[in-house]
Structures are given as structure tokens and as C-alpha cells.
Amino acid sequence: MEFFKFIDKVKFEGKDSKNPMAFRYYDKDRVILGKKMSEHLPFAMAWWHTLGACGVDMFGAGTADKSFDNEKATMAHAKAKVDAGFEFMSKMGIEYFCFHDVDLVPEDEDINVTNARLDEISDYILIKMKETGIKCLWGTANMFGNPKFMNGAGSTNSAEVYCFAAAQIKKALDITVKLGGKGYVFWGGREGYESLLNTDVKFEQENIARLMKMAVEYGRKIGFAGDFYIEPKPKEPMKHQYDFDAATAIGFLRQYGLDKDFKMNIEANHATLAGHTFQHELRISAINGMLGSIDANQGDLLLGWDTDEFPFDVYEATMCMYEVLKAGGLTGGFNFDAKNRRPSNSFEDMFYGHILAMDTFALGLIKAAELIEDGRIDAFIKNKYASFNEGIGEKILSGEATLEGLSAYACEKKITTNPDSGRQEYLQTIVNQILF
């Protein structure tokens, strides 16, 4: 059954094309800095948004029909979603997908039934993967939707719920490994608190770490060689979430000895919710050797929540790709954790959203490569710290310096110098010059 009859395959037509079902910048075989665009940009479809989200919001019902000609919450519907998903990814030229356990099948009261459904659907997905060459980027367990998780999963006060979470993680890992997933994500949905009056933060964080340790041990045992990821987010649904931002999550991983197995999955919209730029979160992850994967979406600075829009801000995408190129690429990919706006409710809009996003990142990649090749920004930064290349600066870097020694140097020289200008506006001019 073909769901998207209006398009055969989205093709690259170039910058001047007015065809809405074509790429203007994403030209998969174009080589940028020695690598094909498709290799720089392993794009992934998010099962939950693309095949599940219907535009439901706090004030109204869904606007988009994602029944795919089947009754919802049935295995027939789950299979139709697989068919629709693989047709969609093939036509878009998207090579990966990401999923939560309960995106794939309807969840039953009895976890054993859910697990059997997951076995069945993953067999079917495997067939489609072989047919199309499409791969799994990462899997995860949804440990925030079920009312059981109202006080968190790893952070719950109920040992029983903790076991239930463990069972979900185990199964989601099994399925991820079965599908050859490159990564496994922990987004700490409800791992946080509303009030400190009823929360033992230390206890909860230690318990989350225990659960992650068990997940790593089990994953390695069943042959999972990929990365585990934490996806930081400061708030929503909880008022305060433990994985607030990259720096916090990295500190947590190091404290509990999880840093060898985990990296960051950075989501653009979560970065801005944390009061950071997307680029900041990427940089912090990269300098700690933990830039793993990206949830490529965009927030709205006028709205204070995770709006999960398809990215269209080329400036942000350029800065993102600048960080990714500097870091030598991702171990993961670019997952479109993004959904159409509620009134964009047709199947065509699913295509337009992903075309917009892929073109935005392709253009970002082209521009980031130009910034790097131009070299003026790198040269500026190198020169900015040049006083550490010789004399007293060199001594500081080599570790020979002592506080007394530096003090003696400063007092003797009666230092009055100020550092050179930061030249921010000059550098911003370079960025604009290259962008436009």
C-alpha cells in the first residue's frame, strides 16, 4: 500500500528550484571537506513525531490523520506505521530512524504482551530495513508517559516502578541491538522534581546512576557496542530535571563512572530552554569528548517550551555544523525530533518539514565549511591567546609556574596592560559575509 502517492522521490534540484517537493541544498553526493553530504549528515526520522504526532495540544484534539487506514492502537496500525515510515524515509532519502518502545506498538497493561508485540514488530521492521538499506540510529524506552512514572523512573520512590523501568530498558535495549542501533538514549523525562519539600535529590540521582550502570552492563553483555546517550533538558515536564544541560550531565556521568560508555545527545530546543545556545551545548560536549548525537529541531524564543519545530534557522545550523566539523563529526546522527505545526496537517507537510530541515542543515554544512576554509575566525582565536605561547605564558601552560612566581613577575613588572580587543563585531561581520 502506498501512502504518499503524490511523490516518488524527493530529489535535489538546486538553489533556484521552486518545486516544493525538492531539495535546494541537500545534494547527498556533493563532497564537502572531503566527505559526502550524506556522510556528514546522517539524518534520522523520529518515529514518535513523524508517524505518531497528530497535532494534539493542551487545548485541542489532533488535526492530522495518522491512522494510515487502520484502527489505532492495534498491531495492524503498528504495521501500517512501519509501512508508512519506510515509504516516507525512502522517498525522502533519510537513512536512519529513532524510536521509543511504545512508538512501535501499543502498550498493554501486561508488559509481557507489550514485549511480545515488540518482538513481532521488530521482525517486520528488520525485513523493511533489509529491503531498503535504512538503519536504526538509536532506540530508547518511554519512561514518562505511563502514570507509573509520575515520580520518575530511575528517580522513583517506588522500588516496583524501578523494576518496571528496568524491564522496559532491557527490552528497548534488546530491540535496539536486534535492529543494529548505533546508540541508546536516556532522556530523563520525569527524572527531576517539582518540589524539594518531597524530594531526596541525592537518593534519586544515585538510583538513576545505578539503573544506568545496570543498563550498560546488560547492553555490553548482549553485544551492544554503540554509545549510550544522555539527552539533557532543564525542565518540562518536571520543573527541574537532573540532566539540566551538557555540563551538568557530564559531571553526573563522571561522578558515577559512566563517562566511558555515555555521550551527549544534544537537542537544540533543550539548549535554549536551559538558557544556552545550541552551539554552547555542542561545544561543551565536544571539548569533553562527549559530542555523540543531535536532536535537530528548533524552539521558539517567544514560547517557553519544547516546541520541536523543524529547524529553519540557517545561522544556528551553520554554528551547529561548525562545531560538528571541528569535533570531527558525530558518532550518532541528526535526528529530527521535530513535528509539523498543528495546522500543517497533511502528509505533504511531513515532507515539507523534513525538506526544510534537511536543506537547513545542508546549507549550514556548506556555510560552516566555508567559515573554516576562510580561516579568519580560527586565526583570530589562535592569535587571541598568543601571549601564552612564549615567556611567562608558556611557563604557565607547562605547569612550571607557581602562584608566588607569577605574583613576583606581576609586581616586578608593575603590570598595567589590558588584553587586546575581543573583536566580536568584526567576527560577526565575517559570518554574515560568508552566509549571505
For binding to Ni ion (CB under 5 A), which residues are involved? 267, 295, 306, 337
**Which amino acid, 374?**
D
Instruction: Give the three-class secondary structure for 293.
Output: strand
Among 99, 184, 187, 361, binds ligand XLS (CB under 6 A): 187
Residue 112 CB, nearest approach to Ni ion (Å): 29
As a whole number of Å, the end-to-end CA separation of the chain is 44
Instruction: Give the three-class secondary structure for 413.
Output: helix
135-140 and 183-187 strand pairing? parallel
For residue 259, indicate whether it is catalytic. Answer: no
Between CA 108 and CA 102 the distance in angstroms is 10
Among 50, 114, 122, 140, binds ligand XLS (CB under 6 A): 140
Q: Which of 40, 77, 101, 103 is catalytic?
A: 103
- Given a contact cutoff of 8 angstroms between Cβ atoms, the answer to whether 79 and 123 are in contact is no
Between CA 43 and CA 49 the distance in angstroms is 15
Among 306, 309, 323, 359, binds ligand XLS (CB under 6 A): 306
| Cα→Cα distances 273→277, 308, 327, 334, Å | 9, 12, 24, 19
Cβ distance to ligand XLS smaller for residue 93 or 237: 237
What is the residue-wise DSSP string for 9-44?
A: --EE--TT---TTEESS--TT-EETTEEHHHH--EE
Residue 430 CB, nearest approach to Ni ion (Å): 32
Q: Determine if 339 is a binding residue for ligand XLS (CB under 6 A).
A: no
Q: Determine if 293 is a binding residue for ligand XLS (CB under 6 A).
A: no
Cβ distance to ligand XLS smaller for residue 27 or 309: 309
Per-residue contact flags (x/-) with ligand XLS for residues 263 to 282, judged by CB under 6 A: ----x---------------
Cβ distance to Ni ion smaller for residue 243 or 295: 295
Of 234, 250, 237, nearest to 282 (Cα)?
A: 250
Residue 237 CB, nearest approach to ligand XLS (Å): 9
Between CA 317 and CA 312 the distance in angstroms is 8
What is the residue-wise DSSP string for 112-152?
A: HHHHHHHHHHHHHHHHHHHHH--EEEEEE---SSSGGGGG-
Among positions 1-40, residues that touch ligand XLS (CB under 6 A) are: none
Residues paired with 98 in a beta bridge:
46, 138
| Cα→Cα distances 323→253, 292, 338, 361, 368, Å | 22, 12, 21, 13, 9
Per-residue contact flags (x/-) with ligand XLS for residues 309 to 338, judged by CB under 6 A: ----------------------------x-
Cβ distance to ligand XLS smaller for residue 48 or 361: 48
Cβ distance to ligand XLS smaller for residue 52 or 393: 52
Q: Which of 40, 100, 276, 354 is catalytic?
A: 100
Residue 243 CB, nearest approach to ligand XLS (Å): 11
Cβ distance to ligand XLS smaller for residue 275 or 391: 275
Per-residue contact flags (x/-) with ligand XLS for residues 212 to 241, judged by CB under 6 A: -------------------x-x--------
Q: Determine if 295 is a binding residue for ligand XLS (CB under 6 A).
A: yes
Helices 347-374 and 75-92 cross at an angle (nearest 10°) of: 40
Between CA 268 and CA 277 the distance in angstroms is 8
Kindly state the number of chain residues that form the binding site for ligand XLS, as judged by CB under 6 A: 10
Sequence-ordered strand ranges (E) for 197-284: 227-231, 240-241, 262-267
- Given a contact cutoff of 8 angstroms between Cβ atoms, the answer to whether 298 and 313 are in contact is yes
Cβ distance to ligand XLS smaller for residue 46 or 125: 46
Per-residue contact flags (x/-) with ligand XLS for residues 385 to 414, judged by CB under 6 A: ------------------------------
Give the DSSP H/E element, type plus range, for residue 45.
strand 43-46
For residue 103, indicate whether it is catalytic. Answer: yes
Per-residue contact flags (x/-) with ligand XLS for residues 80 to 109, judged by CB under 6 A: --------------------x---------
- Given a contact cutoff of 8 angstroms between Cβ atoms, the answer to whether 246 and 294 are in contact is no
Name the binder of 245 from ligand XLS, Ni ion, none, CB < 5-8 A by kind. Answer: none
Between CA 363 and CA 371 the distance in angstroms is 12
Name the binder of 140 from ligand XLS, Ni ion, none, CB < 5-8 A by kind. Answer: ligand XLS
Between CA 174 and CA 222 the distance in angstroms is 8
Interface ranges with ligand XLS (CB under 6 A)? 100, 140, 185, 187, 231, 233, 267, 295, 306, 337
Catalytic residues: 100, 103
